[in-house]
Amino acid sequence: VVFKVPRPRQALKMGGVAAGRDPKKLPGVQDDPSCEEALLRSFGGGGESGRGLGCEVIGKLGEGSEGVVYVVQERGEGGKRFAVKAFKARNKQGVSTAAVREVKLLRELKHDNVVRLRSVHVAKPERRVFLSYECCSTDLQQLIRRHHANRDPIPEYTVKSALWQLLRALDYLHSSWVVHRDVKPENVLVDRETGACKIADFGCAKVFRNDPRALRQSTGAVVTLWYRAPELLLGCSDYSPAIDVWALGCVFAEMLRLRPLFH
């Protein structure tokens, strides 16, 4: 079926930080004063991240196994707003492996539908790594939850627009020899103003260009369970980038059903 993809601004309209939602009230996100202190100290000076102006933490967007994502804004008139991912401290293990992997990949990847890395900061005393990104209003998981709560189906043109953008992103990643390995709604950022969808969170991603055996030797314990391809569920460690396509198919179905396809 061929369809005309709607312009993103028309296709994706939703709530989020930009719409007045208070990210500090998100359920399941715990306060961590020491982390916020280290964050503000790290961004207290330097370049596009607010050096010379300082910045303030507006709130939190979410929390995962590797860390917390904050919304931060530069002080002063016209201060830019951006997202900061604070990776959890690794006491004796040093810097988080996921942080190193994400920095390495995002410095190379450049695509409209892949989140853009702005800068990297390290708070040495706390062994904290902070990555700053362009800020999006919300994520796909919040959009689905909002429509589910209102018992209101997501418009077809919205689903088409999001799916088209995410397929473009996966095509770019796979042609760049990168498999994401954790495609799910909460890892899809959405800009409320432009309707742009961007794949984020490359902590599980893997490059397989230099070694064809890279994915064969990888653990099968990747991808969140509800979006995991059959070969991974069956314990097979020999898989391909097709696992991302399966996961996106599950996300597509979830946008239509407003609940996970396999739950």
List active site positions. Answer: 182
Q: DSSP letter for 114, please.
A: B
Cα gap 212→208, rounded to integer Å: 6
**What angle (nearest 5°) sits at the alpha carbon of residue 67, between those of residues 53 and 96?**
95
Q: DSSP letter for 138, please.
A: E
What are the strands, taking DSSP E only, across 64-177? Answer: 67-74, 81-87, 117-123, 128-134, 138-139
The β-bridge partners of 72 are 57, 82
Helix 242-257 crosses helix 156-175 at what angle (to 10 degrees)?
Answer: 170
